[in-house]
Amino acid sequence: IQHFCVVKTLGAQGARGDLLRRFHDEARVVVTLNHPGICHVFDVGIVDGAHYLAMELIEGVSLSGLQRALAAAGERVPPALALTIIDAVLEALDYAHLRRDPGSGQSLDIVHRDVSPQNVMLALSGAVKLIDFGLVTSALKTEQTVGGLVAGKLGYMSPEQARGEQLDARTDVYAAGVLLFELVTGQRFYRELGKNAIMLHLTDGSWMPQLDDVPAVLRAPLAHALAPERAHRSP
């Protein structure tokens, strides 16, 4: 049976050192995941020196692509659709966060670290899928992030991630909160702030946008998800 798929490769030039270890770290994590809200990986291997992941082809658009198209038309994602998308993202994250090693039963401690509109795919079938676990942290990884090294998209990063601290599932909760804010308000979480200003606010945990444009029923859970101190967020 043939499947159309997306093939992610690491050629001979990049197949060394940190890049190669990171690539295989991603492979080790994603092959353990089997959830309708996560892009499925069919195969992992090496052909003619090229390391590859063969992944499910998701026919549709990214959430970032949808946002750009709607913004150009002077519109935004309808509230019901925004909640449907976030619900699916949270279901996928919950599955990944609670995933255990099938053999040992030990928690894999998976953290996506890059939950953002670019990594949420909206399929023509109506499915919502989380993609790209290339920055994931987990107990399966051999290439661990060095303390102080920051990886991820600045606009969706948690304060602890920006500070280069050890991460847990609550960093993905924060990113999902940023996503929800932007979807229901049609505004950027950091308004017009530049990268330096965003990083300053992140490292000192001082940023919380006004939630006046957020539907009243969502304000409390959203403020909870966006708490600068992760001890105040849902685990």
Q: Which residues are catalytic?
A: 114
Cα separation of 173 and 58, whole Å? 24
Return the CA Rg of the chain.
Answer: 18
Residue written as token pair 């994590």: 29
Residue written as token pair 């089997």: 34
Q: Could you tell me which residues are beta bridge partners of residue 140?
A: none
Instruction: Decide if 11 contacts 50 (C-beta within 8 A).
Output: yes
Cα separation of 157 and 76, whole Å? 23
Query: For the chain, first and last CA: distance in Å?
Result: 41
